[in-house]
Amino acid sequence: MIRYFNLIIFCFLSAAPLAHGQGVISLNVWPPRVDLNVTPGESRTGLINVNNRGLERVQVFCQINDVSMDRYGNLLYPEGGTSATSCEPWMSVNPENFFLSQGTSQQVRYTLKVPENAAGTYLASAFFQTKPQEGGKGTGSRLSARLGVLFILTVSNTGFKDGELSALAMSSSTKENAAQVELGFLNKGNILIRPKGTIEIKTEEGFTVSKVLLNEENQAVLPRSERVFRIPLSDIKSGIYNLFATVDFGGSEILSGESRVNLIVEASRHSWPIPQSRNPIKKTTDKDAKPAVKASPEEVKAMYDLATRQYASGDYEASLTTWQKLLRADPAHSSARKNMERTKTKIQALKKIKG
């Protein structure tokens, strides 16, 4: 029986040369990623260098594919150019297949023709694959290398950013006495986003047990898609915790979310279903704060949404008033406090401009 071994190498973030070596097969492709700012109706060309560093002459084929991503950031490469963010139909390469002798290179020219109605970010992949060759003598196997170049096209002055938090949870991980925080981000806009932020973990008594950074690796969330970021934790005990997330995705507002979770950490590596709630912790140690105004969780959320809309519309004074009212009702609302300080800074900056 003949066995086929096909290694796919795809570089999404780095800019290192792509190479695959399997004895007689050693292929190198440069660049591994092409980032372009284009305009509607524009045509663009460029070169990809493919080098054979192996011991044998190889035949190389090129194929253009879509690029998509699952909820956990794993890249997928469907065929057909049917994705809403695909630029595969716009692309062509020449030559599409060629032979490379040992130590030789081939320049492959790519051509992009951007439609007049294009807007936002588009992606595609160009894969270079060698024709399967005999492996070691007597092994009954055949070897092939497949390397990809990622294309990220942004149509200038056409993108908009919009996003929301879709999940905030915590679960036990596969390691004993360890857990992980999960934050879901939904990219509702038409351009690629790299969200940043923090997640604070507190006990029911209000003590902070951990504060972690979100997306330190600067990973991307594709347009009109959701991604779940998993952040490992260590030395955390079973119990009831409150999670507070603040996320900046470069849009008009900073997103925030709160969740109450029941974590069970077991040596048996059991993951526990996590009930979620948006009810905030209502604690404060600010002796100078004004008397609290009674408000239900629904009223607090309504004030938060109102203040956010006021800020986004440019009515900063009204937004500040709403933030202050919200904090009188819920002094421990950390996201509202941060947004209030942000609003104050904005008002002060505008006053300086006006003189």
Are 265 and 292 in a shared domain? no
Query: Nearest 5°: phi and psi at 195?
Result: -70, 150
In this prediction, residue 165 carries a pLDDT of: 94
Res 292 pLDDT > 70: no
> Do residues 221 and 193 lie in contact, with contact meaning Cβ atoms separated by under 8 Å?
yes
Strand 58-65 to strand 97-100: parallel, antiparallel, or no bridges (unpaired)?
antiparallel
In whole angstroms, give the CA distance from residue 85 to residue 206. 43
Point out which residues pair with 203 in neighbouring strands.
Answer: 241
- DSSP classification of residue 132: P
- pLDDT value, residue 137: 54
Find which of 79-93, 193-207, 298-312, 319-333 is predicted with most confidence, using mean pLDDT: 193-207
Residue 15: CATH number of its domain: 2.60.40.10
CA distance 324 to 350: 20
Last-in-domain residue among 155, 190, 207: 155
Q: Which residue has the higher pLDDT, 172 or 221?
A: 221
How high is the pLDDT of residue 302? 86
**What is the arithmetic mean of pLDDT over 117-123?**
96
Q: What are 246-269's pLDDT values in tens digits? A: 999 998 889 999 999 998 876 544
What residues does 197 pair with on adjacent strands? 214, 247
Task: Tell which wins on pLDDT, 266 or 156.
Answer: 156
- The residue assigned the tokens 């629904």 is 298
Range ranked top by mean pLDDT from 85-89, 133-137, 138-142? 85-89
Which pLDDT score is estimated for 18?
Answer: 42
As a whole number, mean pLDDT of residues 65-94 equals: 89
Mean pLDDT of 104-133: 94
Binned at pLDDT 50, 70 and 90, residue 79 comes out as: confident
pLDDT value of residue 345? 84
Examine the domain organization and report whether 243 and 311 are in the same domain: no
Per the structure, the complete domain to which residue 330 belongs is given by 288-355
Q: What's the number of domains the chain is made of?
A: 3
Q: Does residue 114 sit in the same domain as residue 146? A: yes
**What average pLDDT does this structure show over 81-96?**
91
Q: 217-229 burial string, b = 16+ CB within 10 Å, else e?
A: eeebbbbbbbbbb
Spatial separation of the C-alpha atoms in residues 292 and 206, rounded to whole Å: 18
Mean of all residue pLDDT scores within the chain:
82
Q: Is the pLDDT of residue 176 over 90?
A: no
Is residue 10 domain-shared with residue 138, that is, in the same domain?
yes
Sign of the CA dihedral with 211 first, then 263, 186, and 295 last: negative
Of 281, 308, 339, the position where a domain reaches its end is: 281
